[in-house]
Homo-oligomer: A and B are copies of this chain.
Amino acid sequence: MKVLIVDDDALIRDGLKILIELEADFEVTGTAANGQEALEMCQKQRPDLVLMDIRMPVMDGVLGTKLIKQHFNTIKVVILTTFKDDDYIKEAIRSGAEGYILKNQPADSIIESLRAVGKGNTVFQREVVSALSTMLKDEKKPPVKLGLSDREQEILGLIAEGLSNKEIAERIYLSEGTIRNYTTGLLEKLKLRDRTQLAIFYLKNF
């Protein structure tokens, strides 16, 4: 497997190169110091996999990954970094990287991760996943069937946008009184007291 190493720190580049080339099934085709260079080298060398640092001058790893993915969609990218920062993780996943692993782990572990990625999987380090799991959206409880009619649903939604009864009436061509009646019905059905609670309910449950 042909690997491109990207890191702004020459020492790390060289260290990784030596480590990886110890493995019979790996070959390091080159090294780059930032996303920009990485992109150029992908053009020339067509590696199978890019091992990418995040924080680098000129062009960081996230953008680098996005661009590489965009131009060469068969090239896998593994982010190898010291930061288990939430935002980086999220961005990395969105950018399409196949891995997000930290520099604090032993070489053989990194190698195995690269092999798994080579086989088409995606690898994260445990700590990274736990960080991730707290970022998961809370249950959007599937359509909490609450016997609301279409009209009621619609009006509830508009209330949750912050519209007044009059505005809602104008928006959907009904009289203000009718909207008031619907509001009363919604409050009754949802066992709430006022429109603010309706809005809160809606935002929390839909």
Listed in ascending order, the chain A residues whose CB lies under 8 Å from chain B are 90, 93-94, 98, 101, 105-106, 108-109, 112-113, 115-116, 118-126, 128-129, 132-133, 135-137, 159-162, 164, 192-197, 199-200, 203-204
Contact = CB atoms under 8 A, between A and B. Distances in A.
B136 A90 contact: yes
A119 B109 contact: yes
B122 A116 contact: no
5 contacts: A106-B119, A109-B119, A112-B115, A116-B116, A121-B123
Q: Which of A98, A129, A137, A164 neighbours the largest number of chain B CB atoms within 10 Å of its CB?
A: A129
B126 A94 contact: no
B93 A120 contact: no
B164 A194 contact: yes
B200 A162 contact: yes
The 4 closest A-B pairs by CB, nearest first: A116-B116, A109-B119, A162-B197, A112-B119
Given A137-B137, A162-B200, 8 more contacts: A90-B136, A98-B126, A112-B116, A112-B121, A116-B121, A121-B124, A123-B124, A196-B196
B132 A121 contact: no
B108 A119 contact: yes
